[in-house]
Structure 1
Amino acid sequence: MTTVLQQSNTSVWSQFCNWVTSTNNRLYVGWFGVLMIPTLLAATTCFIIAFIAAPPVDIDGIREPVAGSLMYGNNIISGAVVPSSNAIGLHFYPIWEAASLDEWLYNGGPYQLVVFHFLIGVFAYMGREWELSYRLGMRPWICVAYSAPVAAASAVFLIYPIGQGSFSDGMPLGISGTFNFMFVFQAEHNILMHPFHMLGVAGVFGGSLFSAMHGSLVTSSLVRETTETESQNYGYKFGQEEETYNIVAAHGYFGRLIFQYASFNNSRSLHFFLGAWPVIGIWFTALGISTMAFNLNGFNFNQSI
């Protein structure tokens, strides 16, 4: 009887493993997904509840609570999940560390709950991207590209509070709170004069420019497959082998618009450039925030405050 039960349990576990790692599912789960799904669900649930109904938080630790939720007078623009209290500092502050739920809410406990689960979730999402690429025999560059926004989120939600000594210095989870974080960061560190921030601006704005240029060039050099009265989109069939646009025409146009060597003549190197430019720029911005987190302001052309 024991042997039969062990075989049955092994069989169920094997079925679960096969389901988790199967690429035939409508949505790939993966082992990273087993970690990602509950953490992102917890972060999202707590964020929504806190954004709507959380009581004011004593963010500065001076008994002057700041209201951030909709039920306490805010709107979608001004509302936020307020960072945990300066009285908590860098201490890990789960619900069971507080004397009561009211105390936990007053000290901004939901902020830590959301941020920690969110960061674990996005780290796991990045791992899940690698895992699915591995299962499908693809190259791993999708998760490498995703590491840029992950690095940026880690910088403002984790590295900066650690460097400053308190999670109260983390970025609030709201629209106005984000801009307030930016203003305070500039006032305290003068990050606009930091070369890493300048590289980030070049990466984001340059990436937008290159994306618009690429999209408009491709759209303008589509191979005609439809009549004037039909949408050009009907000229493409998913999975077709032939090119849907004329890269030679696009190369010739752009080469004459600026100069010959400003235009890529290799589709693979072009798309690598489109992916690498904004990613590298955002990496540098995350590095800039992470260095200034520890008040290393001297890198910004001696313009430190």
Structure 2
Amino acid sequence: FCTWITSTENRLYIGWFGVLMIPTLLTATSVFIIAFVAAPPVDIDGIREPVAGSLLYGNNIISGAIIPSSAAIGIHFYPIWEAASLDEWLYNGGPYELIVLHFLLGVCCYIGREWELSYRLGMRPWISVAFTAPVAAAAAVFLVYPIGQGSFSDGMPLGISGTFNFMLVFQAEHNILMHPFHQLGVAGVFGGSLFSAMHGSLVTSSLIRETTENESANNGYKFGQEEETYNIVAAHGYFGRLIFQYASFNNSRALHFFLGLWPVVGIWFTAMSVSTMAFNLNGFNFNQSVVDSQGRVINT
């Protein structure tokens, strides 16, 4: 059994982390789908004013969401067996906690599984390190922020419009756009898009011709071939003259390390920004809006 779990011959690698990852992610996914389609309205603010989030209660794909659990629950652990009935559990938004906690456990195990498969194959371990960035971001909005604010009702709803609402409220309450760490995250995402487009277009434009005009250039590459499929010297020559010599990488390893590092570090910083604002250490404001009892401005 142990050999089968850790075998790299399986079509999909399981691994010891997979033993926990598979049931947690399957649970989160299943409950998400069922709740998105059919969950009754949830009393998110704890004021007996239920908010409908599911398709069967009048929402579409854009407006639908798993509504966060009630402010009356706070950050209490609220499994099904803690409720007097299933109706009460649904009314108080139990599915949100169930989905979020299983999801976070699952993606943490996904990190471990990425490391584990790398280890079995004798690879270096950095794939799993890169994936810590989106996991940290998810943990920030689904777990750290609710803990800091004192309630899962302040967590991000699991839906499209719910995400936008979360963003608007977050900006209003924390001025996130003026937080330096969030600004680094913006640089990470926009920079990552730019560098990805630059790299992809440069490589595509410097492919070594192996095909005629009448067939796809993709046929010029055979999986596992030993020869380089594009001319990195030509790409470096082009880009070094387009900008300047030292703006262009002449080392493929350094280049790809940079392509991985830039967005990962940016998203790490964004996760840290949300995690500090969770405890109300907010973005800068230069509005001179804080005054003492005599009306004198207190610098912020």
TM-score normalised by length of structure 1? 0.93
Write out the 4+ residue segments of structure 1 that deviate beyond 6 Å after TM superposition: none
Give the superposition deviation at 1:300: 2.7
Hey, what does 2:210 align to over in structure 1? 225
Once residues 58 and 202 of structure 1 are traced to their aligned partners in structure 2, the CA distance between those partners, rounded to angstroms, is 38
Structure 1: gaps (5+ residues): 1-15
The one-letter amino acid of 2:79's match is P
1:120-172 per-residue CA deviation (whole Å, 9 max, x = no partner) reads 00000010000000111111100010000000000000000000000000000
Deviations 1:68-101 (A, max 9, x none): 0000000000000000000000100000000000
CA contact (8 A) 1:163 1:294 kept: yes
Q: Residue type of the partner of 1:254?
A: F
> Corresponding residue for 1:128?
113
Q: Does residue 52 in structure 1 map to residue 49 in structure 2?
A: no
Is 1:39 matched with 2:24?
A: yes
Give the one of 84, 96, 106 matched to 1:111. Answer: 96
Q: Give 1:22 deviation, angstroms.
A: 0.4
Matched ranges for 1:44-123 at <5 A: 44-123=29-108
In structure 2, the residue matched to 1:247 is 232
Aligned partner of 1:187 among 154, 172, 180: 172
1:300 equivalent in structure 2: 284
Aligned to 1:140: 125
CA distance in 1, matches of 2:114, 2:224: 22
2:175/2:285 contact within 8 Å kept: no
Identical-pair percentage: 85
**One-letter amino acid of the structure 1 residue matched with residue 271 of structure 2:** A
Letter in 2 for 1:50: A
Deviation at 1:301, TM superposition (A): 5.8
Q: What residue in structure 1 maps to residue 248 of structure 2?
A: 263
Structure 2 distance, partners of 1:300, 1:117, is 35
Amino acid at match of 2:128: C
Q: Distance in 1 between the 2:12 and 2:35 partners?
A: 29
Write the distance in 2 (CA, Å) between the matches of 1:61 and 1:230: 63
Taking the aligned partners of 2:275 and 2:134, their CA distance within structure 1 comes to: 14
Inter-partner Cα distance in structure 2 for 1:190 and 1:49 = 35
Aligned residue for 2:275? Answer: 290
In structure 2, distance between residues paired with 1:36 and 1:131: 13
Given the alignment, which residue of 199, 205, 216 partners 1:214?
199
Contact 1:194 1:301 in 2 (8 A): no
Contact 2:43 2:49 survives alignment (8 Å):
yes
Shift of residue 302 of structure 1?
A: 5.5
CA distance in 1 between counterparts of 2:273 and 2:79 reads 30
Flag structure 2 segments of 5+ consecutive residues without an equivalent: 291-300
The match for 2:190 is: 205
Distance 1:82 1:149 in 2: 22
Residues 181 and 272, structure 2, Cα contact 8 Å, conserved in 1? yes
**Which amino acid in structure 1 is aligned with residue 258 of structure 2?**
F
The number of equivalent residue pairs is 289
* 1:222-269 CA distance string (max 9 Å, x none): 000011111100100000011000000000000010111100000000
Match of 2:156 in 1: 171
SS in 2 for 1:243: coil
Instruction: Indicate the residue corresponding to 1:159 in structure 2.
Output: 144
Query: In the alignment, does 2:6 pair up with 1:21?
Result: yes
Distance 1:39 1:21 in 2: 19
Name the Cα RMSD after superposition.
1.1
